[in-house]
Amino acid sequence: MAARWTQCWDPRESGRRRRTKRSMSISRYRAPQILRALPVAFAIFLIARACCLADDAATLDSWKDSFRGVWQADHCESEWQSWNKYWGQVHEFYFGARGYAGWFSDSQKILVHVTDPSTNAAVAAQLTSLGRRTGGEWAKQDDCRKVRTSDTWMERATEGGKPALLDWQDQLNKAAAADSGNGASIEAAVKSINSQLDTIGVAPLTE
């Protein structure tokens, strides 16, 4: 008699098939729901970002008199660059321009690394103070300022001997990446940059 091959029925296999069909059915319904939710999520992101920008703009406006004092105190600056132009440069420093993300944005990224709530506020205050000191000088006309933007060959040729803003930003980013969460590495970088500002004669901003 010829041998007969019989396939045994396994109840677990039927369950697997049912689960597979069910998961595929769920996926077909879930995908459109996810796609419909994306514009809503993006809209929420834009609203939140707009609120942050509005808060940052209000903060910067509250410092306007201090920056005006920096502009007026530098005779080279007040002679060669109008107040409106200088104030526009201050805005670029804080909100970004020409490949630079801006001090407000970069500071938030740095503060994410300070996970200790007891030191986060102190580090934030130091970054704020450093930003005001650096931005007030960087925003000046090229021939008058003591801080240049980057370390390109062109800026080395036209503004040689000046420290570069992007080099300081890189220093802060590396300190943040190496920080243990208590802000000590970032505070050391801030202290180092302030020391360089002292050396080149850039005074801290007053209220």
The pLDDT profile of the chain, 207 residues, written as one tens digit per residue, is: 444 444 444 444 444 444 444 444 445 555 555 555 445 434 433 344 455 667 999 999 999 999 999 999 999 999 999 999 999 999 999 999 877 899 999 999 999 999 999 999 999 999 999 999 999 999 999 999 999 998 788 888 888 899 999 999 999 999 999 999 999 999 999 999 999 999 999 999 876
**How many angstroms separate the Cα of 127 from the Cα of each of 62, 82, 120?**
17, 27, 11
Q: Which residues constitute the domain of residue 148?
A: 63-200
Measuring CA to CA, which residue among 87, 116, 83, 92 is closest to residue 186?
A: 116
| Global pTM value | 0.74
Q: What's the domain count of the chain? A: 2
Please state, as a whole number, how many other Cβ atoms lie within 10 Å of the Cβ of residue 85. Answer: 13
Mark whether 44 and 74 lie in a shared domain. Answer: no
Residue 7 lies in a domain: no
Q: How far apart are CA 1 and CA 3, in angstroms?
A: 6
Query: 80 and 144 in contact (C-beta within 8 Å)?
Result: yes
Are 168 and 196 within one domain? Answer: yes
**Of the residues 59, 74, 92, the one at which a domain ends:** 59
